[in-house]
Structure 1
Amino acid sequence: MLATVVNLGGLAISAAATLLVSVILANGAGASAVGQFNQLAAVYIVASQLAAVGIHLAVLHFLPLTDIHERRRAALAALLAMLPAATLTGACVWLGAPLFERLLDSPGLAGGVRWVALATGLFAVNKLLLNLLNVFGHLIWLSLAQAVRPLIWLLTAWLLLTSSGVSQTGLGTMFVFGELGVLVFALTRIAAAFWTPVDGRLQPWATRLVRFGVRAFPSNAMTELNTRVDVLILGVFADDQVVGIYSFAALIAEGAFQIGVLLRTIINNRLVSAVVERNGAALGQLWRSTSRASWLLTAAAGLAAALATPFAIDLLKLDPSLHQGRWVLLVLLLGVTVGAGFAPFWNVLLLAGRPGMHSLLMLSLLACNILLNAVAVPVAGMTGAGIATALTFLVFPLLLQFACRRVLGLELRGSR
């Protein structure tokens, strides 16, 4: 019970702090700064998937089913196996900074991207550490560690703002400081897994984790890209201010979606057991309790956000142009809420040991998302991006249920 309460508190802190970053930027530098920050965030999040090469997903699949001594050995092997990919990805993002600036037509963006490149490798390592906290049952520390990042972003944004706004290079530094904070906090609790001597060779575990990760990381990369493809496509067709208006609304909707992500974290070990054993009864019981909670909490959060946002923009004296995103916000919240019951189960194929099929599922969703946004954004701008993204949230439950029946022989809602 305590872990659940703390996780809910951590989610609230994380969502509030992340939103407040956009509030501070919108108040001190306008909607354009919000757009620049979210374009950097899109590069940072997508690149981190390549840097992690799926190893953080492999530990979620294998480690809950092993004893404590094997977990320690696997944890150390996972960290060592990830470091080369994290370093290489960071170097590629650094070298590609001018390309991102030209593609998104945002002068000065390259300076921020170079700092994001430094943060990318750290982010990948932190993804592993946070999943290890989950596997080792340290859910309270996991929640607190996840809250550290946006709190540091919040503090850094406040310190960086000047009378002339904030540079894109300054925005990039926020990501580095955030990851350093998470790294120190997570290691405070999980370090014993790395410092304690382990018996046996690490190579078998490293090979096992990398093989699974390489098959799994495309699916997770596509999942993350799905959450950013609207911002990236909109950035190609619109200026920083329009991207900022849309991003502000999308961030609020994403905060509501994170309720399902939180529940996914809480049920992870039980979900692994149910799907690996093909236990339809256990899966159905987990579905009934978790999906109902996800839908009710997301609906309540969405309604509160829809009612409070217009008043908050005026009360906090934010850039008045943010009001232009009110219809986008409503559309996104509707899509997130309708699909909320399935949010905790997005990774069910992956946790069942079918990373290739999960990748195919995510590829189908990504293709749908890109197609819808590519058609809608040039015609209707940010409104089109909102409609396309909301439709994606409605399509995914249909794809997920079909995949579970065909691949696992299970119904998400219970035994066949």
Structure 2
Amino acid sequence: MSGRFARGVIWNIASLAVMAACGLGLNAIIAAFYGPAVLGSFNQAYAVYILASQIGVLGVNFSTNKYVAEYADNSQELASIVSAALIVALGCSIPIGTSLYYGRHAVGVFLDSPETAIAIGYVAPAVICLSINKVLVHVINGLRRMGLFAVVTGGRYVGIFLSMLALCFFNVSGSSLAFAFLIGEGAALICLLVIVVRIVPLTVCNLRFWVKRHFSFGARVFMSGTLGELNTRLDVLILGAFVSDQLVGIYSLAAMLAEGYHLLANGLAVNLNPIITQRYTQNKLDSLKSMILRGKCYFYLASLLVVGVAVLLFRPLLGVVIDLANYPGAYWVFSIHSCGILVVSGYMPFRKALVQMGFPGLYTLQMLSGVLSNVLLNLMLIPFWGIYGAALATVIAYAVSVLFQRFLVLRSVGIRI
């Protein structure tokens, strides 16, 4: 492991610890002071918000990461790449955020949750901020400034958490808590713009060319990015259509804790993604395969330890913060998620390998396989097993997506991962 890569991993583990603490803190505050029904409506609004921001960025965050990594040594092209990406993100996110705001009541009707509709009204403007922020953090990631990347990524979550604390201090209604996302992402946008522009000055040169390239790449990878986010939120959204906000709250608390594994994998992925691009473009396929296989082994071992400890400590630690009697079944939902994620954990840091190697269309197929199986299994299992069916359906869908990824990488690149 090179010194630069090791430092990047350490930085991002620290950032992940901050993100995990903030995410846990957000849900714990709502769970303890507002109850499972408010937690359920909050997480349904959050799921809609994340999906809308993914649509609003149009895959330009992925193209930004790829092209910035490729042209990191060409300051003139780099300025054009970043400037064009911001134009595309702004132009796409404004109509999406506006549409979400005016369509919030229709979403509330579908989920049978008026409180969720109110919360969506607060997060709709934040969609614009988050879409642009995704582009800006991928600029930093593409340049492999991993220490800075870790700081700004963790800082975004801290801002949202502090905003939530302030709202709770003023005793706002449960449906108004989602306003924390607008405050936090708005502040992050200002900070990120200042930081990125100092590294890569914006320009008006060659914008037309790079806007077209961003659109071209983004259009091909857009659906995969949206499907990827949808795959992590489908369980909450489908569950919301079948059960009460209270049951969704119980489920989302456990599922949110299990998402910590995804954060850990993403912490490695942001370091690995630029390296995957460089080794593939330099035709170092043997080196690329070796890196992936070693990474799988390391992450499987780490995941086994983390999952074992997490399942053992779930009840005693969470019981200190909230009254678990109000969240029956949360432990078993968490255990199902944890065991399922363990099975596929070795592949999680390499989930976007096809994108980084320049196959956005194949990555879309990879994500589509997971989403279709997720939808089908959730619709089949939730009516019979409720929150347990949602958990089981979600982890099976992860496995389907991994199997299809292995097939696609073998067919397109010729390496077995």
TM-score with structure 1 setting the length: 0.94
Q: Count how many residue pairs are aligned between Structure 1 and Structure 2.
A: 410
Out of 2, 20, 23, the residue aligned to residue 18 of structure 1 is 23
Classify the secondary structure of the residue corresponding to 2:206: coil
1:159 aligns with 166
Would you say the 8 A contact 1:219–1:363 is kept in 2?
Answer: yes
Structure 1 residue 278: deviation in Å?
4.5
Name the CA shift for 1:218/1:153 in 2 (closer, same or farther; >3 Å): same
Give the Cα separation in 2 of the matches to 1:299 and 1:392: 20
| Bigger Cα displacement from structure 2, 235-244 vs 102-111 | 102-111
1:89 partner amino acid: I
Tell me the CA shift for residue 164 of structure 1: 7.3
- Residue aligning to 2:374: 369
Shift of residue 277, structure 1, vs aligned partner: 4.2
Q: Which amino acid aligns with 1:376?
A: L
Partner of residue 109 from structure 2, selected from 99, 102, 110: 102
- Asked if residue 178 in structure 1 is aligned to residue 207 in structure 2, the reply is no
Cα drift, residue 292 of structure 1: 2.3
2:273, 2:352 within 8 Å by CA — same for their partners in 1? no
CA deviation digits over 1:223-253, x for unaligned, max 9? 0000000000000001111101110111111
Confirm or deny that 1:263 pairs with 2:268.
yes
Q: Which residue of 2 aligns with 1:144?
A: 151
Distance 2:277 2:173 in 1: 45
Match of 2:332 in 1: 327
Q: In structure 2, what residue type is equivalent to 1:100?
A: V
Are 1:338 and 1:394, in contact at CA under 8 Å, matched by a contact in 2? yes
2:219 to 197, 214, 221: 214
Q: Percent identity?
A: 29
The 3-state SS of whatever aligns with 2:113 is: coil
Q: Considering only aligned residues, what root-mean-square deviation do their CA atoms show, in Å?
A: 1.8
How many angstroms does 1:288 deviate by? 2.8
2:86 is aligned, of 43, 68, 79, to 79
Q: Report the CA distance between 1:62 and its aligned residue.
A: 2.1
Deviation at 1:148, TM superposition (A): 2.0
**Aligned equivalents of 1:197 and 1:103: distance in 2?**
43
Partner Cα separation in structure 2 for residue 82 and residue 22 of structure 1? 29
Q: What amino acid is aligned across from residue 145 of structure 2 in structure 1?
A: H
Q: Which deviates the most, 296-305 or 11-20?
A: 296-305
Any residues of structure 2 matched to 1:32-43 within 5 Å, and which?
32-43=37-48
| In the alignment, structure 1 residue 120 sits paired with structure 2 residue 127 | yes
What aligned pairs does 1:247-286 form with structure 2 within 5 A after superposition? 247-286=252-291
Q: Aligned in 2, Cα 1:14/1:110: closer, same or farther, shift over 3 Å?
A: same
The separation in 2 between residues aligned to 1:165 and 1:30, in whole angstroms, is: 14
| 1:361-406 per-position Cα deviation (integer Å, ceiling 9, x unaligned) | 2112110111011101111100000111111222222111101111
User: In the TM superposition, what is the alpha-carbon distance from 1:163 to its structure 2 partner?
Assistant: 9.8
- Runs of 4+ with >6 A deviation: 162-165
Counterpart-to-counterpart distance in 2, 1:95 and 1:386: 32
Deviation at 1:298, TM superposition (A): 2.5
Correspondence for 2:232 among 227, 230, 234:
227
Q: Is the 2:59–2:221 Cα contact (8 Å) retained in structure 1?
A: yes
Secondary structure of 1:409's match? coil
Native 8 Å contact 1:73 1:198 kept in 2: yes
Deviation at 1:111, TM superposition (A): 2.0
**Paired residue for 1:192?**
198
Measure the CA separation in 2 of the matches of 1:402 and 1:387: 23
TM-score when normalising by structure 2: 0.94
Tell me how far 1:319 sits from its aligned partner. Answer: 5.1
Q: Distance in 2 between matches of 1:3 and 1:274?
A: 18
1:293: Cα distance to partner? 2.6
2:416 aligned partner: 411
- Opposite residue 230 of structure 1, the aligned amino acid is D
Cα distance between partner residues in 1 of 2:307 and 2:220: 35
CA distance in 2, matches of 1:175, 1:164: 17
Range moving further from structure 2, 248-257 or 318-327: 318-327
Q: Is the 8 A contact 1:253 1:302 kept in 2?
A: no
SS of residue in 1 equivalent to 2:178: helix
- AA of the residue aligned to 1:6: W
**Paired letter, 1:180:** G
Counterpart of 1:348 (choices 340, 350, 353) is 353
CA contact (8 A) 1:76 1:193 kept: no
Query: Counterparts of 1:45 and 1:172 in 2: how far apart (Å)?
Result: 12
* Distance in 1 (alpha carbons) for counterparts of 2:283 and 2:378: 36
2:48 is the counterpart of 1:48: no
2:251 aligned with 1:246, yes or no? yes
Determine whether 1:133 maps to 2:122. no
Structure 1 contact 271–348 (Cα < 8 Å) conserved: yes
CA distance in 1 between partners of 2:129 and 2:244 (Å): 30
Q: Deviations over 1:93-129 (max 9, x none)?
A: 0111101111111123222111111011111101000
Task: Kindly indicate whether residue 312 of structure 2 is the aligned counterpart of residue 307 of structure 1.
Answer: yes
Q: Deviations for 1:56-90, whole angstroms, at most 9, x for unmatched residues?
A: 11112222111331112211111112211010100
